[in-house]
Amino acid sequence: MTDTQHEQLLIIDFGSQVTKLIARRVRESGVYSEVHPFNRVDKAMLEAFNPKAIILSGGPNSVTGVGTPRADNHVWEMGVPVLGICYGQQTMCEQLGGSVESSDDKEFGRADLEIVADNELFEGLDKTERVWMSHGDRVNAMPQGFEIIGKSNHAPFAAIANSECKFYGVQFHPEVVHTINGAKILRNFTHEIADFKGDWTMAAFKGEMIAAIKDQVGEGKVICGLSGGVDSSVAAVLIHEAIGDQLTCVYVDTGMMRKGESDQVVSLFKEHYDMNLIHVDAGDEFLGLLEGVSDPERKRKIIGGTFIDIFEREARKVGGAKFLAQGTLYPDVIESVSFDGGPSVTIKSHHNVGGLPDRMDMELVEPLRELFKDEVRALGQELGLHKDFVERHPFPGPGLAIRCPGVITKDRLDILREADAIYLDQIKKHNLYNDIWQAFAVILPVQTVGVMGDERTYENVLALRAVTSTDGMTADYYPYSHEFLGETATRIINEVRGVNRVVYDVTSKPPGTIEWE
């Protein structure tokens, strides 16, 4: 739980796939919100959290089923506005004396909501709104004191309100983008109904975090593993702003980085930010250990294990450091409700440098653990990191090793690095970089015949990959124009010795993964 002084909104999670989106939407309008699983929310927790408003999420269960999740009854006694979404609406109705039925009239996807009463929740909206539904059950009788404020073809109680108590329920999902005015509805709830000031900004967060880091660390020393990625970089800059020289960053260069990347990292942190930075050039060590290895899992294990060994060795040299900083983000911290709604709760704990904290027995400093990725980017900019840097595509820990199927050699890595740099240059030139989640080249372990000039060639094949995604869990291939692909292939073949054929990967995830290994 946060110790910030801000007004906060509590989201009680009943296991919906999109609960995190509620938190994001609410935060986008300057309201700090946290997600907590329903079975961790009781009277004591509610009183300690002291929410200014509560949102009940959707969930996979049926309110009509025996033993299915309910909100703690103290929710209705706190005198704060409550908004129930989908399952949240249904359990609110059932708990307050209405009823819910399982219906054959299921509704999935887009629907039209007809707004049938003037209500503060729908202030500023049209009489008909496009919304997103996903439900089998529906409310069939409202609790006392409620009125219908919106209907759809299949849900006569699609939106209900008890304005006196400030309890609201919607069958549709305002948190997804397919509900066209969903953000406006949530904003009406937070700003108009619950009277939030909306003062949760990145500038405020930065100030609070700097104070919190100083408080946690005191005079102690902190070690931070820098990967060159956005999360660890933002964490490092924030901690540096808080404690200056007490921070030492360790950058382990695996030799599997992209063209120019290590130089950029070192110059940014050492020269621009004047940080204590240990740059370990371990490329030869990694290459030696990977010699002859083609199995993807073995590559990952070798790189992961060696990385930890080197990091630990270097960190020990700093002497007396009690704290280890990590760029853990909020999606890794949120506890998710298990699907049977039972008490078993999965806690996802993500370590950027897997296994390190346990082994090193250090106290963690995780200043980003309340933030979503887009918020980390905003914080990065607030800290003065360049936009191009904070908007960089994700890059995997094992680096180019998993973009080099088959055995890894220095020659193959060099070819891949050159081609990848041209590919990214093309993307930036055509202004496509920010439309794409991730783009990279893969050097294939096959050679094909070609002809250049009058000469027969027998050289490497390069695959290009580009995907769109919101979280890396699912992805679509990016639909480049043929002109773009043709121009890029020509540039790579002309400018990189050792490549005579370029192909484009049009596999989505699933069934493919984003990386090739």
CA distance 275 to 266: 10
Is residue 175 flagged as an active site residue? yes
Is residue 482 flagged as an active site residue? no
For 408, the 3-state DSSP assignment is coil
**Are 268 and 260 contacting, i.e. CB atoms less than 8 angstroms apart?**
no
Q: What residues have CB less than 8 Å from 253, skipping those under 6 apart?
A: 262, 279, 280, 281, 282, 283
Min. distance of Cβ 295 from ligand XMP in angstroms?
Answer: 14
* Total chain residues near ligand XMP (CB under 6 A): 11
For 324, the 3-state DSSP assignment is strand
Q: Is 514 in the site for ligand XMP (CB under 6 A)?
A: yes
Residues numbered 151 to 190 that lie near ligand XMP (CB under 6 A) are none
Q: Is 244 in the site for ligand XMP (CB under 6 A)?
A: no
Q: Is 197 left (phi over 0), alpha (psi -120 to 50) or beta?
A: alpha
Pick one of 101, 414, 476, 515: the residue that binds ligand XMP (CB under 6 A). 515
Q: Is 332 in the site for ligand XMP (CB under 6 A)?
A: no
| For ligand XMP, the closer CB: 154 or 509 | 509
Min. distance of Cβ 438 from ligand XMP in angstroms?
Answer: 5
Min. distance of Cβ 499 from ligand XMP in angstroms?
Answer: 22
Residue of 6, 34, 36, 86 marked catalytic: 86
| For ligand XMP, the closer CB: 89 or 438 | 438
Pick one of 15, 59, 396, 498: the residue that binds ligand XMP (CB under 6 A). 396
CA distance 174 to 60: 17
Residue of 6, 36, 135, 173 marked catalytic: 173
Min. distance of Cβ 397 from ligand XMP in angstroms?
Answer: 4
Q: Build a one-symbol-per-residue string for 467-506: x at contacts with ligand XMP by CB under 6 A, - elsewhere.
A: -----x----------------------------------
Is residue 93 flagged as an active site residue? no
Q: Is 438 in the site for ligand XMP (CB under 6 A)?
A: yes
| For ligand XMP, the closer CB: 309 or 332 | 332
CA distance 499 to 151: 61
CA distance 30 to 53: 14
Q: Is 450 in the site for ligand XMP (CB under 6 A)?
A: no
- H/E element holding 420? helix 410-429
Residue of 175, 208, 261, 459 marked catalytic: 175
| For ligand XMP, the closer CB: 74 or 351 | 351
Residues numbered 356 to 395 that lie near ligand XMP (CB under 6 A) are 394
CA distance 462 to 287: 21
CA dihedral 144, 148, 153, 155 (to 10 degrees): -30
| For ligand XMP, the closer CB: 174 or 399 | 399
**Are 299 and 403 contacting, i.e. CB atoms less than 8 angstroms apart?**
no
Q: Is 359 left (phi over 0), alpha (psi -120 to 50) or beta?
A: alpha
Bridge partners of 55, per DSSP, are 11, 83
Pick one of 228, 398, 405, 498: the residue that binds ligand XMP (CB under 6 A). 398
β-pair type (476-477, 455-468) = antiparallel
| Interacting residues with ligand XMP (CB under 6 A) | 300, 394, 396-398, 438, 472, 509, 513-515
Q: Which positions are catalytic?
A: 86, 173, 175
